[in-house]
Chain A
Amino acid sequence: MKTNYLISNKYKIPGWILLIVGLITGAFLITSEFESDLLEVNVLAIFNGDSLFSDNEGFFKIIENSIVDEIIALCIIIGGLMVGFSKEKVEDEFIYKLRKDSLVWAIIFNYIVLIIMIVFIYEFTFFNVLVYNMFTPLLVFIIRFNFLKFKS
């Protein structure tokens, strides 16, 4: 069957490794309250509006930033995309349907949870919700897809 947008099955295992490494290091970073001075390097910011901590405000500024959180976020997202959108060993119409159904389910589930969070979580705590929400659609999709595949 013609399956659009999917990458080769050989990306599945590297994807899982990236995703799991990203999630574990991410969990460590959260317990350390995002306060990491590791890998502090100069980066290019398309826009820097953080006038609280630096006076380097404006477009296209070189600023100093710990890139640990960026690397972890990229690991989770790229790993997640590789896991979720690589072909199964035997990719057929039923598996493709499972994947589509899981995607629909994940998006609806994610936004229902987000609605509840918007209503009941306030002020700076909501920042955490936004951080998690960068990853939850992809993670819920992967969990749902593998659960359905395992069940059938």
Chain B
Amino acid sequence: MKNNIKIERARYNMTQSDLAEKIGVSRQSINAIEKGKYVPSTLLAIKIARLFQMPVEDLFMIEEND
């Protein structure tokens, strides 16, 4: 699964730690999600999307081999 978190983060001028703190998760989680190493739960995905005020589908994109 691909995601636009890094881009959105840059748009809002946030570091990984800022985002992690706002969502209430660890910095490692944000890093792993951005790198595509970890697929977040629905709950976490919605929380991040809500913070960036966009639909989840615009933030997370399914890939062909998913």
Report which A residues bind B (CB closer than 8 A): 1, 88-95, 97-98, 149, 152
Please judge, given known A-B contacts A88-B26, A94-B25, whether A152 and B44 are in contact too, CB under 8 Å: no
Partner of A93, one of B20, B29, B31, B37: B29
B27: chain A residues at CB < 8 Å are 90
Known A1-B41, A90-B24, A92-B24; further 11 A-B contacts with Cβ < 8 A: A90-B25, A90-B27, A92-B25, A93-B29, A94-B32, A94-B33, A94-B40, A95-B26, A95-B28, A152-B28, A152-B31
**Chain B residue total in the interface (Cβ 8 A):** 15
How far does the alpha carbon of A90 sit from the alpha carbon of B16 in the complex, in Å? 14
- Residue on B nearest A88 in the bound complex, by CB: B26
13 contacts between A and B (CB under 8 A): A1-B41, A88-B26, A89-B26, A93-B29, A93-B40, A93-B41, A93-B44, A94-B25, A94-B26, A94-B29, A95-B28, A97-B38, A149-B28
Closest approach, in angstroms, between the C-beta of B24 and any C-beta of chain A? 8
A95: chain B residues at CB < 8 Å are 26, 28-29
A88: chain B residues at CB < 8 Å are 26
Closest approach, in angstroms, between the C-beta of A147 and any C-beta of chain B? 12
B37: chain A residues at CB < 8 Å are 152
- Residue on B nearest A151 in the bound complex, by CB: B28
Contact with A along B7-18 (1 / 0, CB 8 A): 000000000000
- Residue on B nearest A150 in the bound complex, by CB: B28
Closest approach, in angstroms, between the C-beta of A92 and any C-beta of chain B? 4
A149: chain B residues at CB < 8 Å are 28
How far does the alpha carbon of A89 sit from the alpha carbon of B20 in the complex, in Å? 13
- Residue on B nearest A92 in the bound complex, by CB: B25
CB pair A90–B20 under 8 Å, yes or no, is: yes
How far does the alpha carbon of A95 sit from the alpha carbon of B40 in the complex, in Å? 12
CB pair A152–B20 under 8 Å, yes or no, is: no
- Residue on A nearest B30 in the bound complex, by CB: A94
